[in-house]
């Protein structure tokens, strides 16, 4: 009898798997000759003119987040299911790809209303990285209990709502907005990204008190990033056995997220329909005449600061 399960940890070829709806953990290995048979497919959700040709089958044929079919008696993986998404990084040599997390459904880019103040430039970088990996990003604005003017904070994020991002205004401390977030997590694999101190661990502890993740004081130097492991691990959220949160310091801080320069324009949803309207096919939307994107900025259809964010990211500033 074969079983299907989710890989939540991988260490030197030993993969820890949990079967949907169950709590038992199986530690399994790849069947010896399986590597060459493996086939993955990812389906990008966004229309792109630049299609990536991804090098397949790389350092690690199985990543956390993969759904595998395995034999519980021989403890071998017989099949790896096609992936919905891949968050990958290229090896230092540039030839191989290392998949950090497969099948990530949601990235919650987290910031806080105060302490620290929202950094919209950084937020844009996180959103671009998520779009580039074809991941669905949602925004969390935590610490709404500290907002001096809650309406003003909400207004500041309207530009993101207009271009299609879902924004959750919450407070881990006051327990506000947590139900809506919990609903978004159910039955999915999610990651919480964002700068230190915005309350990612606090939010997870509020959602799932059993987790007891360590939280820190803002401004305290924890050196957490020093011994960053490159493999992610999925943490089960116990209210539903198929609900997971991916966690590594690198994932949170985006050290490993890669964006191809030619793709950046497609990572701004508000540019999407305009890109085809530029006079030059290879328009970078900076100095070229007849640029549909800059026209839209002038007319106010594209937010000026978001456009400047694009220019900064594309120029590697
Ligand atoms: N007032 C208030 N404080 C909060 C809230 N959420 C978190 N905090 C505080 O903010 C500080 C940082 O919270 P953490 O959960 O450790 O932040 P983090 O995003 O996990 O930080 P890193 O793990 O360093 O990336 C802690 O002192 C929390 O108690 C909130 O909703 N309101
Ligand atoms: Mg934390
Ligand atoms: Zn243009």
| Ligand 2 centroid – CA 14 distance (Å) | 27
Q: What is the DSSP string of 187-255?
A: TSEEEEE--TTSSHHHHHHHH-GGG------TT----TTTT--SS-EEEE-TTSTT-EEEE-HHHHHTT
- Best CATH choice for the domain 106-253 from the list 3.30.70.270, 3.40.50.2300, 2.60.120.1440, 3.40.50.300: 3.40.50.300
- Angle of helix 304-314 relative to helix 120-132, nearest 10 degrees, comes to 60
Q: Would the CB of 16 count as within 6 Å of ligand 1?
A: no
Second CATH level (architecture) for the domain 268-314: Orthogonal Bundle (1.10)
Selection from 73, 66, 79, 68 nearest residue 1 by Cα: 73
Q: For the chain, where do the domains classified as CATH 3.40.50.300 start and end?
A: 106-253
Q: What are phi and psi of 62, to 5 degrees?
A: -125, 135
Pocket test for ligand 1, best of 114, 146, 202, 219 (most atoms within 8 A of CB): 202
Query: For ligand 1, what atom is nearest to the CA of residue 253?
Result: 25
Give the Cα separation of 296 and 201 in Å (integer).
Answer: 39
Residue 214 CA, closest ligand 1 atom number: 16
CA distance 182 to 180: 5
Name the β-bridge partners of 25. 18
- Point out the ligand 1 atom lying closest to the alpha carbon of residue 224: 24
Predicted TM-score of the model (pTM): 0.86
Q: Is 309's C-beta closer than 6 angstroms to any atom of ligand 1?
A: no
Residue with tokens 């120029």: 315
Total Cβ atoms within 10 A of residue 189:
23
142 lines ligand 1 (CB under 6 A): yes
Q: How far apart are the first and last CA of the chain?
A: 55
Which element (helix H / strand E) includes 88?
Answer: strand 86-90
Q: Ligand 1: which residue has its CA nearest to atom 24?
A: 196
Residue 306 backbone dihedrals phi, psi, to 5 degrees: -65, -40
CA-to-CA distance for 77 and 72, rounded, in angstroms? Answer: 9
Q: Please state, in angstroms and as integers, the Cα–Cα distance from residue 164 to each residue in 136, 167, 202, 297, following that order.
A: 11, 9, 26, 18
* CATH 1.10.40.50 residue window(s) in the chain: 268-314
Which of 199, 204, 219, 221, when mutated, tests ligand 1's pocket best, judged by the most ligand atoms within 8 Å of its CB? Answer: 199
Q: What residues contact residue 260 under an 8 Å CB cut-off, 6+ apart?
A: 50, 52, 132
Ligand 1 pocket, 115 CB below 6 A?
no
Q: CA 110 from chain center: how many Å?
A: 11
Q: pLDDT tens digits for the chain (317 residues)?
A: 999 999 999 988 899 999 987 888 999 999 877 665 555 544 444 444 333 434 444 556 899 999 999 999 999 999 999 888 888 776 666 667 778 889 999 999 999 999 999 999 999 999 998 898 888 999 999 999 999 999 999 999 999 999 999 999 999 999 999 999 999 999 999 999 888 899 998 999 999 888 777 787 654 444 443 333 456 789 888 766 689 998 766 666 665 566 788 889 999 999 988 988 999 999 999 999 999 999 999 999 999 999 999 999 999 87
Q: At 190, give phi and psi (nearest 5°).
A: -125, 160
Instruction: Write down the number of H helices and E strands in the chain.
Output: 8, 13
- 97 alpha carbon to ligand 1 midpoint, in Å? 33
The answer to whether 130 and 262 have CB atoms below 8 angstroms apart is no
Which CATH architecture describes the domain 3-89? Answer: Beta Barrel (2.40)
| CATH 2.40.50 residue ranges for the chain | 3-89
Q: What integer pLDDT is reported at residue 26 of this predicted model?
A: 96
Residue 162: CB atoms within 10 A of its CB come to: 12
Q: Find the 282 Cα to ligand 3 centroid distance in Å.
A: 8
Q: Ligand 3 centre and the CA of 21: distance in Å?
A: 49
CA of 50 to the centre of ligand 3 (A): 15
Ion ligand 3 nearby residues (CB, 5 A):
278, 283, 285, 291, 293
Q: Which of 243, 254, 168, 232 is nearest to 208 (CA)?
A: 243
Nearest atom, ligand 1, residue 216 CA: 16
């Amino acid at each position: 009898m074969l079983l299907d399960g989710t890989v939540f940890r991988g260490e030197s070829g030993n993969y820890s798997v949990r079967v949907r709806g169950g709590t038992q953990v199986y530690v399994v290995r790849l069947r010896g000759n399986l590597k060459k048979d493996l086939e993955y497919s990812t389906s990008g959700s966004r229309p792109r003119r630049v299609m990536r040709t991804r090098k397949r089958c790389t350092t690690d044929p199985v990543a956390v987040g993969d759904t595998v079919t395995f034999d519980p008696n021989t403890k071998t993986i017989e099949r790896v299911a096609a992936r919905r998404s891949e968050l990958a990084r290229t090896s230092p040599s540039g030839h191989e790809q290392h998949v950090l997390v497969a099948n990530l459904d949601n990235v919650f880019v987290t910031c806080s209303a105060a302490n620290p103040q929202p950094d919209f430039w950084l937020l844009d970088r996180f959103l671009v990285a998520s779009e580039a990996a074809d991941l669905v990003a949602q925004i969390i604005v935590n610490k709404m209990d500290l907002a001096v003017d809650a309406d003003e904070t909400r207004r500041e994020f309207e530009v993101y709502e207009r271009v299609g991002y879902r924004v959750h205004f919450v407070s881990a401390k006051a327990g506000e907005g947590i139900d809506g977030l919990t609903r978004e997590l159910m039955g999915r694999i999610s990651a919480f990204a964002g700068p230190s101190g915005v309350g990612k661990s606090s939010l997870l502890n509020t959602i799932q008190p059993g987790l007891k993740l360590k939280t820190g004081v803002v401004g305290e130097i924890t050196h957490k990033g020093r011994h960053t492991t490159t493999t992610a691990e999925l943490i089960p959220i116990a209210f539903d056995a198929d609900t997971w949160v991916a966690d590594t310091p690198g994932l949170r801080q985006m050290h490993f997220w890669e964006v191809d320069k030619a793709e950046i324009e497609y990572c701004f949803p508000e540019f999407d329909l305009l890109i085809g309207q530029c006079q030059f096919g290879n328009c970078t939307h900076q100095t070229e005449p007849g640029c549909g994107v800059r026209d839209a900025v002038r007319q106010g259809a594209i937010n000026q600061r978001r456009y400047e964010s694009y220019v900064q990211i594309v120029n590697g500033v």
